[in-house]
Amino acid sequence: MPTQANLKDLPDLLTNETTAQTLSLSVSGLNKLRARDKQFPKPVRFGDSTSRAYFVRAEVAAYLAAKMAQRGEAA
């Protein structure tokens, strides 16, 4: 069973809605991005494929940082 100490080590999870807001997208825009860019982090689900999807905040941040770095290289 998780203890309080273990719980603080768990990653922060974002819903589809929060992830979309973080990236200044609509939820449908986020879904299009996920379909178009296979590098986008995969969601975590606690059930079957119809269960709510969550994204790990650190993975979304790393994805965004990589995109920003690519932008600098392209300039």
In this structure, is residue 7 part of a structural domain?
A: no
Asked whether residue 8 is domain-assigned, the answer is no
Neighbours of 60 (CB within 10 A): 18
Q: Is residue 2 part of a domain?
A: no
Q: Collapsing DSSP states into helix, strand and coil, what is residue 72?
A: helix
Q: What is the mean pLDDT of the chain?
A: 89
**Residue 6 falls inside a structural domain:** no
pLDDT of residue 13: 95
Q: Which residue do the tokens 């119809």 mark? A: 50
Domain with 41 in it? 14-74
Domain annotation covers residue 70 = yes
The model's pTM is 0.81
Residue 13 near residue 60, CB atoms below 8 Å: no
CA–CA separation, 29 vs 64, rounded Å? 15
Binned at pLDDT 50, 70 and 90, residue 5 comes out as low
Domain count across the chain: 1
The dihedral sign for the CA sequence 60, 9, 44, 22:
negative
